[in-house]
């Protein structure tokens, strides 16, 4: 149960980070072709950092889960 909650939180953080990166353009407060305003720069850096950290955390969790499954599995040396 704890693992599902943790993975769900990481997925939501990843999606939130992606939204922060896309929001200036999707919502329209950053005009096309105009120099980036401070809010856009902030959204891009913060959203990229949140998405990146949560993605790396998901990859680490998946690798650990696969390692655990391999350790539990029955290996035959035939």
Structure tokens at 44: 């891009």
pLDDT digits (tens, 9 = 90+) for 6-51: 889 999 999 999 999 999 989 888 888 889 989 999 999 999 999 9
Torsion, CA 44, CA 47, CA 49, CA 50, rounded to 10: 180
What pLDDT does residue 34 have? 87
User: What does the alpha-carbon distance between residue 32 and residue 16 come to, in Å, rounded to a whole number?
Assistant: 23
């Amino acid at each position: 149960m704890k693992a599902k909650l943790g993975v769900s939180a990481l997925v939501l953080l990843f999606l939130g980070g992606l939204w922060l990166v896309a929001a200036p353009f999707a919502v329209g407060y950053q005009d096309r072709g105009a120099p980036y305003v401070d809010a856009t720069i902030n959204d891009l850096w913060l959203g990229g950092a949140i998405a990146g950290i949560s993605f790396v955390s998901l990859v680490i969790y998946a690798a650990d889960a696969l390692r655990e499954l391999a350790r539990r599995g029955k290996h035959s040396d035939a």
